[in-house]
Structure formats: structure tokens, C-alpha cells
Amino acid sequence: MNPARDALGELVRVVGRRRAPPREHYEQVLAAATHAWHRKLRSRRRRRWLLAAAAALMTAVVGVATFLQWMPRKAVVATAVVLRGNVAIRTADEDPWQPLQPGLPVTAGAHLRTGTEGGIALTLNDGTAVRVKEQSELTLEAARSLRLDTGTLYVDSGPRPEQRAVRIETDVGTVRDIGTIFEIRATPESLRIRVREGRVELDAPRTPERLQTRAGQQLDFDLEGTIRRSAIASSDSAWRWAEALATPPETEGRPLLQFLVWVARETGRRLQFQEPALEAQAREVVLHGQTRDLAPLQALDLMLSTTDFEYILPSDEVIVIRRRGE
């Protein structure tokens, strides 16, 4: 016989049968255990729900990212650099017109409209300067393709290869520049082209071949095929509206001569120095400050006021730089 089992049996006989706990104690323990079990079950369900929600959210994020990656995006073709008065933009035909802000990127297909006192200067991606007069409306169809529905447009494309020419569609014909500065005024029935520098070509349905006009010329053309040519000087006052929208170059720390060349180009004048030595000195003079929101000749007044130079306009064609007080 096992002594350990006898000892256990003797102990049970001595202690006697265990008394059953009260009914209320049993119910309390059962209720506490049941509550704990339900709470644990809810915790498991909530954890499973959160994991499922997180998985669904991740799937949605991946789906949106994939959609955005494959969705066609409109390319930025220009930037608004100078703005005067009321100018509005809409990115698609069905969109409402919104005020345009300086520095805003302009995407392909965007429509621009200037008010009675509005005007804007844009820089296309290739550096071409485009300025829009008041009461004009145009569309930037692509990087170097514009449509002028009505109003006046000024383009400074600079000397560059012909294959990079800017094309401007109008109701009357298509204008293409050949490294030039020019202005177009369009209505549904007529077109006027003024060339300040370089050459411009016009393709029109009423003409058997391309029409060309050169610097110093104005070409008027209408739907009937009538052609009129006249002269216009590069410094004519008719260009003043475009000069007012010129984008001033960076001047801080730059040589004075660089700024003088810009003023001469913007005003359609030739730059001359009263003495040959002054040109060399202008290369050495370093400018400080900026000339924001000033027309070219106003900016020139400001910049020269801090130097030993001044300018005179002996004629409409020339800017002469001389020593101050001479």
C-alpha cells in the first residue's frame, strides 16, 4: 500500500466533505467570468475589423496612386510673371473663370482673358516672352502654340532656330515668327501684324502663298483677302503698352551694361555711349537693388541715379549714355 495515498485519504476523512458555496457567490463569479469572456471576444472582433479596414484603406490608396500615375496630366507650358488689373483664367471649357495670380503655372489648354484695365506677361517654357493687352482672350494650346480669339498679343521670341517658332492661330490666319519681336491684333474679321524686329510669316486661306513682313513694317489683312502695308518704327509709341508689361531682369550684383542693353531692346532704341571709355566703365559698374513694377525708362532713371552716368534721348531711335552733369 502506498503511504502517500493513505495520508491523503486520512486527511480527507479528518477534514470532511467541503461545504458548497452560497448561491449568490456562485452567480457573482459566473457573471464576472462571462463579462470577461465577452470583453475578450469583442476585443478580438474589433482587432479583426481594424485589420480589415486597414487593408481596405491600403488597397484604396494603392488604387488612387495607380490611377493618378496613369491619368493623363496637362503639361505646364507657361508661367505668369507680370500682372496688371483684371486677368482671369480657366483650365477647361466647362470650368469657371478664376482670377489669375502672378507666378502661377499655366497648363496646356488654359484660357486667359484680360479686362478693360488688365494685362499680363507670360514666359513660355522655352523662354519666349508673351504679353497680352487689355480686352484680349487667348488659349495656350501647347508649349509653342497659341490661339488669339480677340485682342492684342506681343511676342518676343529672340533669335532662335526656325523650327522652334511660336505659332499663333486666329480666325483670319496663322502667324509664325522667325526669331523676332512682333505684335498681333486679332478680330473675327481682320488681323494686324506689327514687326519690331526680325520677320513674321502669315498663312491665310485667302492667299495662295505665305505672306511675310519684316522689322519696321505693319501688315493689315482681312477675310476678303485685302492686304495693306505701312511703316512703323521700333520706338513708336504704339509699343508702350508692351513695354509697361516688360519683365525686369535681375539687377542685384549684375553689370550696368547688361541692364542698359535690356532697356534699349525693350524700348526699340539703339544704345550709344558719348565716349568709348564709358562702355568699358559700364561693364565694371555693379548694380544693387531691383526695379520691379517699373517701365524700362523709369527703371533706367532709378538705376542710373546711384551711378556717375545719365542718359539722354536725342531722338526716338537712340539712347545716349554720358557722364552725369556733362
2 in any annotated domain: no
CATH (domain of 91): 2.60.120.1440
* Cell numbers found for residue 275: 565716349
178 in any annotated domain: yes
My answer on whether 316 and 260 are in the same domain is yes
The full length of the chain comes to 326
Determine the structural domain holding residue 271 and report its residue range.
Answer: 248-323
My answer on whether 82 and 187 are in the same domain is yes
Q: What is the count of structural domains for the chain?
A: 3
127 in any annotated domain: yes
4 in any annotated domain: no
126-to-88, 156, 174, 298 alpha-carbon distances in Å: 23, 11, 20, 28
My answer on whether 152 and 286 are in the same domain is no
My answer on whether 287 and 184 are in the same domain is no
My answer on whether 147 and 225 are in the same domain is yes
CATH (domain of 313): 3.55.50.30
Which of the listed residues 210, 239, 268 is the one where a domain comes to its end? 239
Integer Cα distance of 130 and 293 in angstroms: 17
Which element (helix H / strand E) includes 77? strand 76-84
142 in any annotated domain: yes
Whether the CB-CB separation of 101 and 70 falls below 8 Å is answered with no
My answer on whether 80 and 228 are in the same domain is yes
Which of the listed residues 194, 219, 239 is the one where a domain comes to its end? 239
Integer Cα distance of 140 and 147 in angstroms: 7
My answer on whether 87 and 177 are in the same domain is yes
Integer Cα distance of 47 and 45 in angstroms: 5
> Pick from 171, 96, 179, 106: which is nearest to 142 by CA?
106
3 in any annotated domain: no
Q: What angle do CA 319, 183, 126 make, to 5 degrees?
A: 90
Contacts 24+ apart (CB under 8 A), 141-150: 141/108, 141/109, 141/169, 142/77, 142/108, 143/75, 143/77, 143/108, 145/169, 148/184, 148/186, 149/186, 150/186, 150/187, 150/188
Integer Cα distance of 259 and 135 in angstroms: 31
Integer Cα distance of 181 and 189 in angstroms: 24
My answer on whether 260 and 153 are in the same domain is no
Instruction: Measure CA of the first residue to CA of the last residue in the chain; give whole Å.
Output: 139
My answer on whether 99 and 177 are in the same domain is yes
My answer on whether 205 and 279 are in the same domain is no
Integer Cα distance of 169 and 184 in angstroms: 11
CA quadruple 159, 160, 165, 168: dihedral sign: negative
Integer Cα distance of 158 and 152 in angstroms: 19
Pairing of strands 174-186, 190-203: antiparallel
My answer on whether 83 and 164 are in the same domain is yes
pLDDT in tens, the chain (326 residues): 555 455 545 544 544 555 555 555 545 545 555 555 456 555 555 566 555 555 555 554 444 344 334 334 679 999 999 999 999 999 877 789 999 988 889 999 999 999 998 999 999 998 899 999 999 999 999 988 999 999 999 999 876 655 568 999 999 999 998 888 999 999 999 999 999 999 999 999 878 788 999 999 999 999 888 999 999 999 999 999 999 999 888 999 999 999 999 999 999 999 999 999 999 999 999 999 888 888 999 999 999 998 999 999 999 899 999 999 87
- pTM, whole model, 2 decimals? 0.75
1 in any annotated domain: no
My answer on whether 188 and 279 are in the same domain is no
Q: How many CB atoms lie within 10 A of CB 232?
A: 17
132 in any annotated domain: yes
259 Cβ neighbours under 8 A, 6+ residues apart: 249, 251, 287, 299, 300, 303
Please report, as a single letter, which amino acid is at residue 219: L
Q: What's residue 12's pLDDT?
A: 47
72 Cβ neighbours under 8 A, 6+ residues apart: none
Which of the listed residues 239, 260, 288 is the one where a domain comes to its end? 239
Read off the DSSP letter of residue 255. Answer: B
> Pick from 253, 254, 249: which is nearest to 296 by CA?
249
